[in-house]
Homo-oligomer: A and B are copies of this chain.
Amino acid sequence: MDWLDQVKWDAQGLLPVIAQEVGSNDVLMFAWMNREALQKTAETGRAVYFSRSRGRLWFKGEESGHVLLLKVIQQGHEPPIACHTGRHSCFFQVYRDGAWHAVEPVLKDPKTIYK
């Protein structure tokens, strides 16, 4: 199965995308990709998005509407768990060499989180 087929595209064939800056870890922006945009992003190493308002690919430089960024402190479990899979963060898969790799450890068995 193609790594692009493993992405859970929504009903419109789109995927929400968050851009975070290396180093500062600042969250910079939010936008959307379709399959073609993600493929081009992987090929070129540059962010290629899909503009919902224009109905076509765009190469950065357009507003994406309002998004809310919550700065949070996780409570309840030590170490903190945000993901229903029992991981610290929901972003635990990395794309590398044509495939997805889970790179964050499971801190707690999900079966014991949801009873």
Which residues A77-115 have CB closer than 8 A to chain B?
Answer: 80, 82-84, 88-91, 113-114
A interface: dominant SS: loop
B20 near A72 (CB under 8 angstroms)? yes
B-chain residues with CB within 8 Å of residue A114 when the two chains form the complex? 61
Are A89 and B27 in touch, CB under 8 angstroms? yes
Expressed in whole angstroms, the Cα–Cα distance for A114 and B66 within the complex equals: 20
Contact with B along A45-80 (1 / 0, CB 8 A): 001000000000000011111111111111000001
Q: Tell me if A43 is interfacial: C-beta within 8 Å of chain B.
A: no
Contacting pair B26 A70 (CB below 8 A)? no
CB-based contact B30/A65 at 8 Å? no
Interface residues of A in 7-21 (CB under 8 A from B): 7-10, 15-21
Of all A-B residue pairs in the complex, the 9 with the closest CB atoms, nearest first, are A25-B25, A28-B82, A8-B66, A29-B90, A17-B68, A69-B91, A16-B67, A19-B70, A28-B89
